[in-house]
Amino acid sequence: MSVEKNNLTLEAIVEHYGEATSKLKRRIILCCGTGCIANGALEVHAALQAELKKAGESVEIILQDEIGHKPFEGNYISKSGCQGFCQMGPMIRIEPAGIFYCRVKAADVPEIVGTTIVKGELVDRLLYVEPSTGQPCRDEHDIQFYARQSRVVLKNSIIEPENIEEYIASGGYFGARKAILEMTSEDICKTLIDAGLRGRGGGGFPTGLKWKFTLASVNEKKYVICNGDEGDPGAFMDRSVMEGNPHSVLEGMAIAGRAIGADEGIVYVRAEYPLAVKRMRRAVEDAERYGMLGEKLFGSDFHFKIRIMEGAGAFVCGEETALIASVEGKRGMPMPKPPFPAQSGLWGKPTVINNVETLASVPFILREGAEAYRSVGTEKSPGTKTFALTGHVANTGLIEVPFGTTLREIVYNIGGGVTNNNGEVTGEDFKSVQIGGPSGGCLPPEMLDMPLDFDSLRSAGAMVGSGGLVVMNNQTCMVSVARFFMQFTQNESCGKCVPCREGTKQMLAMLDDIMEGRATGETIDLLEKTARAVQLGSLCGLGKTAPNPVLSTLRYFREEYESHVFKKICPAGECKALARPEITDKCKGCTACARKCPVGAISGKVKEKHVIDAEKCIKCGVCKEVCKFDAVVGI
């Protein structure tokens, strides 16, 4: 039977996919996000094919999409996008047995096939071991990192991202069909307003209101732009969604187009995301072939096309008007508002701009309803939020939790606890969480039980931002952290307005003075005043939030600044100019440090603890390098 794809109903596609997979012996899902590919996932994929065939097992790696094709049998090896648990990749799931293997290498594949596929037994060494209990976990439901999350945007992270039928079989494009065939533009905007979805790009502006304002602008041409630039250091939430579930973004854009009366969408993806670009382009081609994009969607008079644009953007392109300038081929620099993009955006036409996560949340709301979306989260911040969890924490990766979840839940339960500099979980090392990326703030231990939402974080001097979340232990210098983010924002400042261009430069210079022992008490006061001036006077939101890391560390960790300035001591020992060299009780008296010291600053007897003369020490680091007992600190 041969049928044109764009003549099929969604129900027919669901039925076809179900028939095609009904007789699969097993499905082996291999994480093939950027991180896992970098760790050898494609080599694992090739090894799985070879070993299964060698064992006499039939193998499918691409599900044919011809209508009427006989059901597939044997083993289906599929690639997924990022499954979130990045430090444990590459990961393999074997269904329906529900087996989860982590840190799999190509060399492990013969044992997996021989033991698990052929004999039906577990390869124990490849199972994840829960840090808190020491117990191996057979499947993801036993793993706290997964079990304590609530996934909406990341729910389909295990599907084959280049198989549109699997996306449709999981409920995809049903929300778009409902919006296009059953709802008016006003109905769609009201549904989004009722759901309370707020922009996930950092500002937290109500998405439904933004769409409503754009709908009210009368113009024959309007645009929908998806911001996939994601310029925050260490952030990879949007990249993972585009790589793992690209159709959710396209569906969200089609719904946005129907809501505001646009017939064209642009996905702006940073050029450093080649896999996301590839999969998004493939998704657009498939969506057009199946009639989900293009002309007369679902038999209606609504047309909507999407193109993928690789952007040479910058951090400042997270600001709407700067992004529009970049799309138009100009330098990415913000413009004064009003007019807002809803009134005059791309090429002077009304434009709605949302980030990847925001748009990927929309299909669920249209499909399941506003109340279902509001069933998690808080009253003013409904729904879930993805975070890139990194830093001094046992479990790093991509997570999704309801708004209202506490930092303690994220750090100690999902994250598995804080690690010291040796990677050990001690339970007593937490010092701070930096949340919200370069525009965010650093929160102290007293904030661990604060529910995370847009308003509570703003009152604490931080912000949700795009979702970066960095855990820091008590061996971290908070002045150094503030300088790291200030260096980033100073480099990324577009330079258009004086407060941001010059203010961040002066703030960076003052932080350098503090860390290098040149500062006085006036420096701290001037730093704070400059930060307030930049916050008030900058043109765009990124400039206004650039001082947040400085202001939050001054607010919660002022004693560290004062120690640097008045005592000339870095309490964490990170600032080399202020570190006090010391030999701890770990010293065994081997004399290696004393023999290698170029200035004779170390003294002590054999088999007794040695001492460093701080006045003679030039902090060259030789003693630290030769010490086998990790006894030298402060250098």
Say if 263 falls within a structural domain. yes
Instruction: Look at residue 70 in the predicted model and tell me its pLDDT.
Output: 62
Asked if residue 304 and residue 179 are part of one domain, the reply reads yes
3 state SS of 426: coil
Supply the CATH number for residue 538's domain.
1.20.1440.230
Instruction: Look at residue 540 in the predicted model and tell me its pLDDT.
Output: 87
Instruction: Look at residue 536 in the predicted model and tell me its pLDDT.
Output: 93
pLDDT classification of 633: cutoffs 50, 70, 90: confident
CB 503 within 8 A of CB 530: yes
Q: How far apart are CA 353 and CA 388, in angstroms?
A: 22
**What average pLDDT score do residues 404-419 get?**
92
Asked if residue 483 and residue 467 are part of one domain, the reply reads no
pLDDT in tens, 533-548: 999 999 888 889 889 9
The range of the structural domain enclosing residue 469 comes to 384-476
pLDDT in tens, 42-68: 999 999 999 999 999 888 877 655 544
Per-residue tokens: 338: 């009003």
Say if 238 falls within a structural domain. yes
Say if 157 falls within a structural domain. no
pTM of the entire predicted model: 0.88
Asked if residue 317 and residue 211 are part of one domain, the reply reads yes
Instruction: Look at residue 467 in the predicted model and tell me its pLDDT.
Output: 82
Q: Which residue has the higher pLDDT, 480 or 475?
A: 480
Q: Judge if the upstream peptide bond of residue 598 is cis by omega within 30 degrees of 0.
A: no
Instruction: Look at residue 1 in the predicted model and tell me its pLDDT.
Output: 29
Q: How far apart are CA 609 and CA 423, in angstroms?
A: 26
Instruction: Look at residue 6 in the predicted model and tell me its pLDDT.
Output: 62
Asked if residue 607 and residue 563 are part of one domain, the reply reads no
pLDDT classification of 124: cutoffs 50, 70, 90: very high
Say if 159 falls within a structural domain. no
Supply the CATH number for residue 441's domain.
3.10.20.600
Say if 237 falls within a structural domain. yes
Supply the CATH number for residue 93's domain.
3.40.30.10
**What average pLDDT score do residues 243-253 get?**
97
Say if 216 falls within a structural domain. yes
Q: Judge if the upstream peptide bond of residue 338 is cis by omega within 30 degrees of 0.
A: yes
Asked if residue 538 and residue 455 are part of one domain, the reply reads no
The structure tokens 């997270």 sit at: 318
pLDDT in tens, 368-395: 999 999 999 999 999 999 999 999 998 9
Number of domains forming the structure of the chain: 5
pLDDT in tens, 278-295: 999 999 999 999 999 999
* Boundary residue ending a domain (452, 476, 500): 476
**Mean pLDDT score of the chain, rounded to an integer?**
90
Asked if residue 528 and residue 556 are part of one domain, the reply reads yes
DSSP string, 242-305: HHH-HHHHHHHHHHHHHHHT--EEEEEEETT-HHHHHHHHHHHHHHHHTTSSBSSGGGSS--BE
* Boundary residue ending a domain (374, 409, 431): 374
* Boundary residue ending a domain (147, 179, 194): 147
Supply the CATH number for residue 221's domain.
3.40.50.11540
Supply the CATH number for residue 594's domain.
3.30.70.20
Asked if residue 255 and residue 206 are part of one domain, the reply reads yes
Say if 618 falls within a structural domain. yes
Asked if residue 315 and residue 247 are part of one domain, the reply reads yes
Q: How far apart are CA 190 and CA 554, in angstroms?
A: 42
pLDDT classification of 532: cutoffs 50, 70, 90: very high
Lowest mean pLDDT among 185-189, 251-255, 459-463: 459-463
Asked if residue 206 and residue 314 are part of one domain, the reply reads yes
Say if 488 falls within a structural domain. yes
Asked if residue 487 and residue 558 are part of one domain, the reply reads yes
**What average pLDDT score do residues 488-506 get?**
90
The structure tokens 């006045």 sit at: 615
Asked if residue 434 and residue 305 are part of one domain, the reply reads no
Asked if residue 338 and residue 401 are part of one domain, the reply reads no
Instruction: Look at residue 313 in the predicted model and tell me its pLDDT.
Output: 66
Q: How far apart are CA 288 and CA 543, in angstroms?
A: 40
Q: What percent of the chain has pLDDT over 70?
A: 97
CB 494 within 8 A of CB 314: yes
